[in-house]
Structure 1
Amino acid sequence: MEFETHEDAYLFYKDYAKSVGFGTAKLSSRRSRASKEFIDAKFSCIRYGSKQQSDDAINPRASPKIGCKASMHVKRRPDGKWYVYSFVKEHNHELLPEQAHFFRSHRNNNTDPVKSDSRIRRKKNNPACKHLSAYHDFSFLDGYMRNQHDKGRRLVLANGDAQILLEFLMRMQEENQKFFYAVDFSEDHVLRNVFWVDAKGIEDYKSFSDVVSFDTTYFVSKYRIPLVVFIGVNHHEQPVLLGCGLVADETVYTYVWLMQSWLVAVGSSTPKVMLTDQNNAIKAAIAAVLPETRHCYCLWHVLDRLPRNLDYWSMWQDTFMKKLFKCIYRSWSEEEFDRRWLKLIDKFHLRDVQWMRSLYEERKFWAPTFMRGVTFAGLSTRNRSESANSLFDRYVQAETSLKDFLEKYGLMLEDRYEEEAKADFDAWHEAPEVKSPSPFEKQMLNVYTHEIFRKFQLEVLGAAACHLTKESEEGTTYSVKDFEDDQKYLVDWNESNSDIYCSCRSFEYRGYLCRHAIVVLQMSGVFTIPINYVLQRWTNAARNRHQISGNLEIVQSNIHRFNDFCRRAIILGEEGSLSQESYDVAMFAMKEAFKECAIKINTIENPAMFEEAAIQPRDPSVQEGNQYGSTSKQIGLEPNIHAGNASGQAEARRDKRSSLNNASKKAKHVTQSGTVGEGSQEGFQQAAAPTPAQAVMAGQFHNTMPGMFQNVIPTEFHNIQGTNMHQNNPPG
């Protein structure tokens, strides 16, 4: 264990002391006679040594010293690093972890970090720190962020990687001004954390912000690059990359900075659900930065930790897992889950296992029984290989260098774009095969994307293998025997509000109704999927800015028109690109069609605004009867009805094509807009949030940061010392 200074070593010892339950003191220190620098220091329990006081003292003071030997002795090596020379753990008195904050040495840790730490106060007035402080007061992080400015904490990069990273970020921004990145420096200009997201990721988040997975697997598993990623899933159930980070450590400060940077990049709209590993620092950061977001733990993260946290795992693995799965997946009510859990830990003598206790205390973060009303869109699975989180697994291995990763990053984005474009093309030009006379299957044929429809189709076909019985005559709960997996499920159906819930929790975890719910609807005489169980994120209109609503027939009509327009738009693109003249004709027609569509939509949504205009003479150039109209007929094509967001999406597609073309020429990299401590010329304008504080912050960075970036960052990147990965993170 090493430290940058003896003060860092003392801060570490204080943290340890507070967690154990004793006060600390600096016992002694020694300087070099030649250099006058500290070379030796010793810290101890406040009860170290014995009372030394004259017997004839008039007013003797009480002394805490009772001969305790607990201490830590550190020494300085010739290279300047400090190491633990000796450590005495045992105390001769009672330890008080619950009252540790009363010891004088720990009292300052309970004050507001901003007010108590002069270094933080100086940073608060630094424009490069505005990004973090513009949103929240630090007081919520009491007890977590005491050492977030530890001088020993830095982003550990191999030799030359800092320059490669800098060139990558700046090149990406040059190629696409919507590329966003943020850089976090310490007061000593040491690089700590980096975040970036490409333009496609920002655009994807607008449509698929309901569920986001924050994955720290590569960092926690000690990969060569300390990578963390924000992952989502699109309407084709394909993973989408919503942001990347390189981080120095797992402190709350790091995760708060990272999530704040991500929110600025994607426009400060918070996700409905955030999936993460079970980690206290992440938990505190999400509670502070995303208070309205439902925080949940990935199931595969929880299950993956079982062997590491339970002794004698191999002796009773099969029996234990059978009982555990019954508790997790077969508990209908919260009371039933609690009862089965207590029975489980008693049977396997696990009451004293701290990890099992923490799992139970946090059961509402991960247990399926407590997830009613939550939708994970397939992101929370039993195995990592089934999850969208495995997006990077074929591009990143334990020994992948930063240079190799940045080169593969562009290839990965190209693969993602190609797969999504192919799926979109298939959805516009082909229709899946219908395999049954079920009205449910026919209803969703042109509503769901192909991938989701095929999975839903299996549920429709599987309903034939289910047998239904009613639990009670007056109740609304049904028992469904599934002969395919030989299991019995409970389904609760409330016809008055079209609310249906199955104990298999398919809708919560996958986002579409299961066969058990379908057979209950059939037997209840309901032959239409309730609209609240048709998630827009799984439909061909997932990227439409207008929310689908009303009955299913209206949704089917809207999506049918959308698909038809997309097919015709591709033909128009092919014909219009043959010559400059045909291009001009097509562009003029599209612009006119967009204008007419916007007028028509506004007339429908705001009829009062057009009452006066309705009695005025009409422009003779506009034909009556079909406002989409005459222009469309001139070219034999209709514009995309999706036009309200068409200009923005068209721009995004142009950005994407530009990025891909440049990437293939330049080591396959893609781009967007950049920042130091935040702020790019366009990134902050794009991400300016609706609150006054954020708006001010965006303006400040727009005016000041590009110059700062040019003057500061290259120097700091050049000065970063190369070292082995994960070797220099501070203890604790």
Structure 2
Amino acid sequence: MATIDSELECLNKLDWQPRCGMEFEYEQSAYEFYYLYGRKMGLSIRKDTFRKNRRTGEITSRIFVCSKEGSRSKDKHDVLTIKPRVETRTSCGAQMSFKIDRNKNKFYVNHFVEMHNHPFVRQECTHMLPSQLKISVTQAIEVDLVEESRISLKSSYELFGRQAGGRDSLGYTKRDQKNYLRSKRQNKLAYGETDAKMIIDYGQFGDVLSFDTTYKINKENRPFVVFVGLNHHRETVIFGGALMNDETIDSFVWLFETFLQAMSRRTPKTIFTDQDVVMAKAILHVMPSTYHRLCTWHMMQNALKHVYGLFRGEVKNVLSGFFYEIEDESDFLMAWNHMLDEYNVHENTWLKSIFDLKEKWAYPYVRHAWSAGMKSTQLSESYNATLKEYLKSDLNVSQFFMHFERVVNDKRYKELEAEYDLLYMLVNVKINAKMLIQAREVFTKAIFLEFNMNLNKERHVKMDTHNTLSYSCRMFEMKGVLCSHVIKILRDALNINEIPTQYILKRWTKQARVECVQDMHRREIQEDPELQQTYQYRPLCSIFTRISSRASESEKTYILVTEQASKILLSQKGKQGTHPEPKTRRRTITSTTKENQRATDPKK
């Protein structure tokens, strides 16, 4: 854990007494200097009034005061209070103020009052003083890490104290740590949060969406819903998740509206869901232009419940042809009627219901719409298996979402592995064909393998007036990948040895993530800087642990490392904030009070 011991040692060697004329690069630098001065003296300070430039909004002057400055206003109900609060203000007049020097573009101290009207606390108690500088961002990272590991508050605080050389060196109390965690949980549950990485993922791969409601948590069986898609490696990418109280149309409408609000109102071309009438109405209301498809995996699970006995245990063999194989509508209708006759299931209500929805799942109808090759089967099966691996029923809501982040990070790591394969593992091309070599250079490994291994089935191919190939399987329209027969036509009949640019979809290429994603106001969306800080913080801990181990072996090395570390700390002071916001770490999504109540409180 980071401590302020080295900073105090620096103040012993340097001029730690505030004086008029002292200069600081940043306002934060001045605050931290005055804070450390107060800590050394045994007092607490806070920020007071300031002035801003009306045109630029920049702070031009600021006053820092003793925390005991002023007095509490009298309450007319004080005489009725059984246990009045203790008085902490003494009208102390000590302060330090500064202004900005326009010529030097620096802040300088223009007024300093040293005299206090109260006693100072002992040095052993200074870490208990109230102050705005409590848990630093780096300390908050470690607090988050131990909570994610389900280590108790008492044990983690004791661990941090030992790492820092004593609790008084931490700079915060156990209550501060408890308050920080409580504030973070309350804000997460009250408003929810958006992950900038999820927004970027959706901006690049949100053309097809799978919406899954099958996972239930806790004794009340509340549905945990998740928005899932496919990245350019055909790996699962998670766009968001939510814990719902119920599955009413109002709840689904609120959820879809909130999700689209976070995603800058970008609607997917196609969305996959299970067979739910209420959900279908909500999708039609919120996303009327989105093609709604039914997940074949969910349909097969329902078939096992409704027609397993009627089909004599051959459900998959009977229905798979309707899902994936029969291309012509007339052939589909003929085969369907034959199936009804063969198994004598004309009156089965479930079969009637899915036939009425055939435009949402039957192959002759869905092959005309874009799906990126998703049937939702692989997503639902693998995703639910992953959730059960990470998540347990005894987790509370806050812990549940914490572990859900582990699922998200696991999926992101799989993409990193795929990116590594692209750089260091070149796929062999058995045929020295220019088109295949081009495909290997342009597409990701998963897409190239599909491009290279497509079955060479006989298809009917025709060319329209725009020199665009159209073919019966419509693989490119559905998946964005040319089938092997069209490749053969391009090479042999048309003597085209390279893939035409109109048949190279960027979402399947190695450059799919190159361009930035913008929100509805055309502002670039960037990943959460605090998450980036976490990624940078962890390897630095490893480096400085090794340095500390070496430095502690001799007094000479210890002094050298301490001095150099102190210089680095002083050179970086004020260049970045050190206060973790007591809010959620990512951009929050807010909604109306009624919407929040409906989504989170079944009684309302």
Q: TM-score range by the shorter chain?
A: 0.5 to 0.7
Which residue of 2 is the match for residue 304 of structure 1?
Answer: 301
Which residue of 2 is the match for residue 677 of structure 1?
Answer: 591
Structure 1 residues 520 and 261: alpha-carbon distance in aligned structure 2, compared to 1, 3 A threshold: same
Alpha-carbon offset, residue 529 of structure 1: 2.9
Structure 1 residues 496 and 262: alpha-carbon distance in aligned structure 2, compared to 1, 3 A threshold: same
Q: Distance in 2 between matches of 1:240 and 1:168?
A: 28
* Structure 1 contact 277–298 (Cα < 8 Å) conserved: yes
Which residue of 2 is the match for residue 245 of structure 1?
Answer: 242
Which residue of 2 is the match for residue 652 of structure 1?
Answer: 527
Alpha-carbon offset, residue 455 of structure 1: 3.0
Which residue of 1 is the match for residue 405 of structure 2?
Answer: 410
Number of matched residues?
381
Specify the SS of the correspondent of 2:461. strand
Alpha-carbon displacement from aligned partner over 1:343-377 (angstroms, at most 9, x marks no partner) = 21222122211211111111111112112342322
Alpha-carbon offset, residue 414 of structure 1: 2.9
Q: Distance in 1 between matches of 2:279 and 2:527?
A: 32
Of 429, 438, 445, the match for 2:440: 445
Is the counterpart of residue 230 in structure 1 residue 227 in structure 2?
yes
Of 454, 457, 463, the match for 1:494: 463
Which AA in structure 2 matches 1:434?
Answer: V
Q: Distance in 1 between matches of 2:405 and 2:477?
A: 33
Q: Distance in 2 between matches of 1:729 and 1:663?
A: 43
Specify the SS of the correspondent of 1:240. strand
Of 251, 254, 258, the match for 1:257: 254
Which residue of 2 is the match for residue 317 of structure 1?
Answer: 313
Which residue of 1 is the match for residue 118 of structure 2?
Answer: none
Which residue of 2 is the match for residue 454 of structure 1?
Answer: 449
Alpha-carbon displacement from aligned partner over 1:641-698 (angstroms, at most 9, x marks no partner) = x9xxx9946x4274542355689999xx9942224535xxxxxxxxxxxxxxxxxxxx
Structure 1 residues 182 and 411: alpha-carbon distance in aligned structure 2, compared to 1, 3 A threshold: closer
Which AA in structure 2 matches 1:418?
Answer: Y
Q: Distance in 1 between matches of 2:205 and 2:515?
A: 12
Specify the SS of the correspondent of 2:372. coil
Alpha-carbon displacement from aligned partner over 1:622-653 (angstroms, at most 9, x marks no partner) = xxxxxxxxxxxxxxxxxxxx9xxx9946x427
* Structure 1 contact 252–285 (Cα < 8 Å) conserved: yes
Of 343, 348, 356, the match for 1:353: 348
Specify the SS of the correspondent of 1:375. coil
Structure 1 residues 503 and 389: alpha-carbon distance in aligned structure 2, compared to 1, 3 A threshold: farther
Is the counterpart of residue 171 in structure 1 residue 184 in structure 2?
yes
Map 1:139-178; keep pairs closer than 5 Å. Answer: 171=184
Structure 1 residues 381 and 241: alpha-carbon distance in aligned structure 2, compared to 1, 3 A threshold: closer
Which residue of 2 is the match for residue 512 of structure 1?
Answer: 481
Structure 1 residues 352 and 308: alpha-carbon distance in aligned structure 2, compared to 1, 3 A threshold: same
Which residue of 2 is the match for residue 541 of structure 1?
Answer: 511
Which AA in structure 2 matches 1:540?
Answer: K
Alpha-carbon offset, residue 431 of structure 1: 3.9
Q: Distance in 2 between matches of 1:387 and 1:673?
A: 29
Which AA in structure 2 matches 1:531?
Answer: T
TM-score, length of structure 1 as denominator length: 0.45
Specify the SS of the correspondent of 1:244. strand
Q: Distance in 2 between matches of 1:388 and 1:362?
A: 26
Specify the SS of the correspondent of 1:446. helix
* Structure 1 contact 225–401 (Cα < 8 Å) conserved: no
Specify the SS of the correspondent of 2:215. helix
Alpha-carbon offset, residue 218 of structure 1: 0.7
* Structure 1 contact 413–670 (Cα < 8 Å) conserved: no
Q: Distance in 2 between matches of 1:663 and 1:364?
A: 51
* Structure 1 contact 440–528 (Cα < 8 Å) conserved: yes
Alpha-carbon offset, residue 271 of structure 1: 0.9
Which AA in structure 2 matches 1:658?
Answer: Q
Which residue of 1 is the match for residue 83 of structure 2?
Answer: none
Which residue of 1 is the match for residue 202 of structure 2?
Answer: 205
Structure 1 residues 520 and 351: alpha-carbon distance in aligned structure 2, compared to 1, 3 A threshold: farther
* Structure 1 contact 324–344 (Cα < 8 Å) conserved: no
Q: Considering only aligned residues, what root-mean-square deviation do their CA atoms show, in Å?
A: 4.3
Alpha-carbon offset, residue 400 of structure 1: 5.5
Q: Distance in 1 between matches of 2:504 and 2:284?
A: 30
Alpha-carbon offset, residue 309 of structure 1: 1.6
Alpha-carbon displacement from aligned partner over 1:61-103 (angstroms, at most 9, x marks no partner) = xxxxxxxxxxxxxxxxxxxxxxxxxxxxxxxxxxxxxxxxxxx
Structure 1 residues 365 and 454: alpha-carbon distance in aligned structure 2, compared to 1, 3 A threshold: same
Which residue of 2 is the match for residue 701 of structure 1?
Answer: none
Structure 1 residues 661 and 248: alpha-carbon distance in aligned structure 2, compared to 1, 3 A threshold: farther
Is the counterpart of residue 366 in structure 1 residue 361 in structure 2?
yes
Alpha-carbon offset, residue 244 of structure 1: 0.9
Of 287, 295, 318, the match for 2:292: 295
Gaps of 5+ in 1: 1-165, 175-180, 184-193, 467-479, 481-489, 548-641, 679-704, 721-727
* Structure 1 contact 215–277 (Cα < 8 Å) conserved: yes
Which AA in structure 2 matches 1:674?
Answer: T
Which residue of 2 is the match for residue 326 of structure 1?
Answer: 321
* Structure 2 contact 210–376 (Cα < 8 Å) conserved: no
Alpha-carbon offset, residue 227 of structure 1: 0.6
Alpha-carbon offset, residue 531 of structure 1: 3.2
Alpha-carbon displacement from aligned partner over 1:588-632 (angstroms, at most 9, x marks no partner) = xxxxxxxxxxxxxxxxxxxxxxxxxxxxxxxxxxxxxxxxxxxxx
Which AA in structure 1 matches 2:260?
Answer: L
Q: Distance in 1 between matches of 2:242 and 2:603?
A: 16
Which residue of 1 is the match for residue 499 of structure 2?
Answer: 529
Structure 1 residues 391 and 272: alpha-carbon distance in aligned structure 2, compared to 1, 3 A threshold: farther
Alpha-carbon displacement from aligned partner over 1:135-175 (angstroms, at most 9, x marks no partner) = xxxxxxxxxxxxxxxxxxxxxxxxxxxxxxx988963899x
Structure 1 residues 169 and 254: alpha-carbon distance in aligned structure 2, compared to 1, 3 A threshold: farther
Which residue of 2 is the match for residue 142 of structure 1?
Answer: none
Which AA in structure 1 matches 2:527?
Answer: A
Specify the SS of the correspondent of 1:305. helix
Q: Distance in 1 between matches of 2:405 and 2:452?
A: 35
Deviates more, 1:525-534 or 1:359-368: 525-534
Which residue of 2 is the match for residue 697 of structure 1?
Answer: none
Is the counterpart of residue 419 in structure 1 residue 408 in structure 2?
no
* Structure 1 contact 223–397 (Cα < 8 Å) conserved: no
Structure 1 residues 530 and 169: alpha-carbon distance in aligned structure 2, compared to 1, 3 A threshold: farther
Q: Distance in 1 between matches of 2:485 and 2:527?
A: 41
Specify the SS of the correspondent of 1:218. strand
Is the counterpart of residue 376 in structure 1 residue 371 in structure 2?
yes
Of 251, 275, 280, the match for 1:278: 275
* Structure 1 contact 441–457 (Cα < 8 Å) conserved: yes
* Structure 1 contact 380–509 (Cα < 8 Å) conserved: no
Alpha-carbon offset, residue 295 of structure 1: 0.9
Is the counterpart of residue 215 in structure 1 residue 212 in structure 2?
yes
Structure 1 residues 393 and 508: alpha-carbon distance in aligned structure 2, compared to 1, 3 A threshold: farther
Structure 1 residues 416 and 384: alpha-carbon distance in aligned structure 2, compared to 1, 3 A threshold: closer
Identity %: 27
* Structure 1 contact 217–228 (Cα < 8 Å) conserved: yes
Which residue of 2 is the match for residue 580 of structure 1?
Answer: none
Which AA in structure 1 matches 2:184?
Answer: R
Structure 1 residues 240 and 656: alpha-carbon distance in aligned structure 2, compared to 1, 3 A threshold: farther
Which AA in structure 1 matches 2:387?
Answer: F
Alpha-carbon offset, residue 512 of structure 1: 1.6
* Structure 1 contact 271–293 (Cα < 8 Å) conserved: yes
Which AA in structure 2 matches 1:657?
Answer: Q
Alpha-carbon offset, residue 258 of structure 1: 0.3
Specify the SS of the correspondent of 1:307. helix
* Structure 1 contact 228–247 (Cα < 8 Å) conserved: yes
Q: Distance in 1 between matches of 2:230 and 2:304?
A: 29
Alpha-carbon displacement from aligned partner over 1:520-543 (angstroms, at most 9, x marks no partner) = 444433433343332211112212
Structure 1 residues 438 and 265: alpha-carbon distance in aligned structure 2, compared to 1, 3 A threshold: same
TM-score, length of structure 2 as denominator length: 0.54
Q: Distance in 2 between matches of 1:521 and 1:279?
A: 43
Structure 1 residues 517 and 671: alpha-carbon distance in aligned structure 2, compared to 1, 3 A threshold: farther
Specify the SS of the correspondent of 1:217. strand
